[in-house]
Amino acid sequence: MDIECSEWSAFEAILASPKCLSKVKQLMIEFHRCGLYSKRTLHQEFVGYWRTLRRIDRLGFKLWRVWNNIVCNFTWSQFPGEMFHNCFNAYYINVNYLL
């Protein structure tokens, strides 16, 4: 899934009907930190992300691999010479299928 900052709201809708993921064995998502475009505080933003990721985990999707997506790298004038990441890829395996 790569839907440029809409993944968080899409997952909220998906998680409202958890049975829709019951037959999904693997999931790869490109997550974006969309707060750059949000009016929420940094704290509110990350608490929301954490809650969504916890709900994915509770459905049996365990994080297998995660990596920064270098296409989303950016620099910030306040921190010269530093590279920041605005998105990362996460690969999940549904452990309900391991039995």
| pLDDT exceeds cutoff 80 at 92 | yes
Q: What are phi and psi of 30, to 5 degrees?
A: -95, 110
| Mean pLDDT over the full length of the chain | 79
Residue pair 64/92 in contact (Cβ under 8 Å)? The answer is yes
Supply the pLDDT for residue 12. 81
Domain ranges of the chain: 7-97
Alpha helices in 1-99 (DSSP H): 7-15, 42-58
Residue with the larger pLDDT of the pair 19 and 73:
19
Give per-residue pLDDT as tens, 45-56: 778 888 888 988
Rg (CA), the chain: 15
How large a percentage of the chain has pLDDT more than 70?
75
